[in-house]
Structure 1
Amino acid sequence: MRARLLSGIAAGTLALVTLAAVPASAADPAKLSVLHGVPGLTVDVWVNGERTLDDFTPGSLAGPLDLPAGTYTVAITAADAADASAPAIGPVDLALEAGKNYTAVAHLDAAGTPTATLFTNDISATAAGEGRLTVRHVAAAPGVDVLAGTTPVITNLTNPNEKVLNLPAGTVSASVTATGTTTPALLGPADVPVVEGTSTIVYAWGSATASPATLALATQTITGLHSNPSGVNAGEVGLVSDGGSSAWTFAIAGLAVAGLIGAGLARRAATQRS
């Protein structure tokens, strides 16, 4: 079962997280954030034979990082493997296109099978007084409606799709319900700030069919959208669990991931110099 789950997220937590181990290029980099949204699965990620992410756990977020265009050889193993000589998946060669802002999500499809989706984030400028709200369905659940208060503002959103709204700045009390219903809420209600010049991206991830259910909300923000998109600051990225866990907890986890990435780069550079 563990090997099957590893296979299921190869294109996501395998491929796209490992790109974070490559030194950033100052010339027209891509920006990449990665959300691990497969409940109950911990993995190690390797780049060119070096362990880059150790015990990467569900609910963890990596990035955003500036990355150069290029092709990278990556492999994924069960957690705490001695080396990458017998990967469960790979090695595979992966390419990353420069000049775009991405979020890669390892998640469950509607039937509960691990998969991965790469989203291209909209970093176009927002109108004065407006912010951008994007809702992404990456949970093992059927189609859902998103309610602002008691009013559906998004209907029949299915996995792995998204809906982008440009809204006046303010706070939206959002709930996620099964399509065509207003109660009970599968997630929320949760206050979602819509900030002028900022893109707020909300993810519904986990599983509605697990026992107990593992549904949770994650949020990502991209700031600086008043200016030319080519100069956008990727901003802060944080996670908020359905239970209301602090985003600072996950920010610290993100720094830990970045530290692991840096360590992998240092080891690789030392090997190349010797």
Structure 2
Amino acid sequence: MQRSYFRQVAAGGAVAALTFAGVGALTAAPAYAATAEVSVVHGIPDTPVDVYVNGEKTLESFAPGDVAGPLSLAAGAYDIALTKPGEPVANAILTVDDAEVPGGTNISLAAHLDAGGQPKITPFVNDTSKVDAGKSRLIVRHTAAAPAVDVRAGGAPVFTELTNPNEAKADVDAGSISADVVLAGTETVAIGPADLDLGEGTATIVYATGSAEADNLDVVAQTITGLHSAPAGVPSGSGGLADTGASTWWYLLASAGALLLVGGGTRVATTRRNNR
């Protein structure tokens, strides 16, 4: 049972392989080719992995709570293999063949637990539209094995009845807030409080991860910069990820094409070998 569960968890983490292919494992695209900005978070507890892309090891001991990216990847298909740390690609516990990356999108791939505690992958297309001067975008995603929750800022509910794997968002005044997560309709704190710095012209995307039953709920936050409305503000950073003190994380699946990222090419390698 434990071995079977590990394989399921590996499936959940496999898409982490998809984009974090060291750039050396990928073929550079012509300047005119459509590209995607892709980030990956490993939100499944207790399952570190090595990741191979197109036969090359590109992530080593990729740990739960870690985030890789974003990378600008050419639209196309990629072969992925996931192994236990230190194992060769020939011993892959899971492979993903011809994983499609659609161009022209900003995507976060979340490997996480569903409401029932089973590992899964949810691709989220990130909202990178401009925000007004003095504003920041706050996005909260429920990606934990937990019931519906309310998200509070300064003790007041901001988003209510949020369920896995859904999200809620709002453009709010920039500044620092203290946020926590409570069971929906109650004062029972499930996560937090945590301090969030909502910078002007940024999107802060907060994920709830882990399992209520296993008592390992946590949050990770991803920050996307450069969303200022011209001419106000100057983008800070490089448009990548900024750790907010919990780990690092992320908008609801907005494009059917993103589903191709986790399409039908996935298989457990051990099953394939046993059928030979």
Q: Could you tell me the TM-score, scaled by structure 1's length? A: 0.79
Output the CA distance in 2 between the equivalents of 1:19 and 1:70. Answer: 16
Cα deviation, residue 191, structure 1: 1.9
**Separation (CA, whole Å) in 1 of partners of 2:28 and 2:239:** 17
Alpha-carbon distance in structure 1 between the residues aligned to 2:85 and 2:131? 42
Do 1:216 and 1:241's aligned partners in 2 also have CA atoms closer than 8 Å?
no
One-letter amino acid of the structure 1 residue matched with residue 10 of structure 2: L
Instruction: Provide the residue aligned with 2:79 in structure 1.
Output: 73
Q: CA deviation at 1:108?
A: 0.9
Tell me, in whole angstroms, the C-alpha distance in 1 between the residues paired with 2:22 and 2:129: 24
| CA shift in 2, pair 1:77/1:171, >3 Å | same
Q: Deviation per CA, 1:194-253: give whole Å up to 9, x if none.
A: 22211111111111111xx2111111111111258xxx98623134455xx7x8xx9xxx
Counterpart Cα distance in 2 of 1:50 and 1:65? 17
Deviation at 1:86, TM superposition (A): 3.8
Aligned position for 2:67 = 61
What letter corresponds to residue 222 of structure 2 in structure 1? Q
Deviation string 1:47-93 (CA, Å, 9 cap, x unpaired) is: 22222212111111101111111111112122211x22242222411
Gaps of 5+ in 2: 250-276
Give 1:15's aligned residue. Answer: 18
Counterpart residue type for residue 65 of structure 1: L
The change in CA–CA distance for 1:236 and 1:7 in structure 2 (over 3 A counts) is closer
Distance (whole Å) between structure 2 residues aligned to residue 198 and residue 124 of structure 1: 10
- C-alpha displacement of 1:142: 1.0
Q: Do structure 1's residue 192 and structure 2's residue 171 form an aligned pair?
A: no
Query: Of 46, 49, 60, which residue of structure 2 is paired with 1:43?
Result: 49
Higher helix share: 1
Fraction of identical pairs, as percent:
45
**In the aligned structure 2, how far is the partner of 1:66 from the partner of 1:51?**
18
Residues 1:205 and 1:100: Cα distance change in structure 2 (over 3 Å): same
CA distance, structure 2, for counterparts of residue 137 and residue 216 of structure 1 = 11
Q: Which whole-Å deviations, capped at 9, do the CAs of 1:107-134 have from their partners, x for residues lacking one?
A: 1111111111111110001112211000
Aligned-partner Cα distance in 1 for 2:146–2:76: 35
How large is the Cα RMSD of the aligned pairs? Answer: 2.4
Cα separation, 2, equivalents of 1:165 and 1:198: 12
| 2:224 counterpart residue number | 222
What letter matches 2:84 in structure 1? A
Between 1:102-111 and 1:25-34, the stretch displaced more is 25-34
From 80, 99, 108, the equivalent of 2:104 is 99
One-letter code of the match for 2:223? T
* TM-score, normalising length: structure 2: 0.78
How many residues are matched? Answer: 237
Structure 2 distance, partners of 1:241, 1:171, is 13
Q: Secondary structure at the match of 1:207?
A: coil
1:253: which partner in 2?
none
2:197 and 2:244 in contact (8 A); partners too: no
Who is 1:123 aligned against? 128
Question: In structure 1, which of residues 39, 52, 60 is the aligned counterpart of residue 58 of structure 2?
Answer: 52
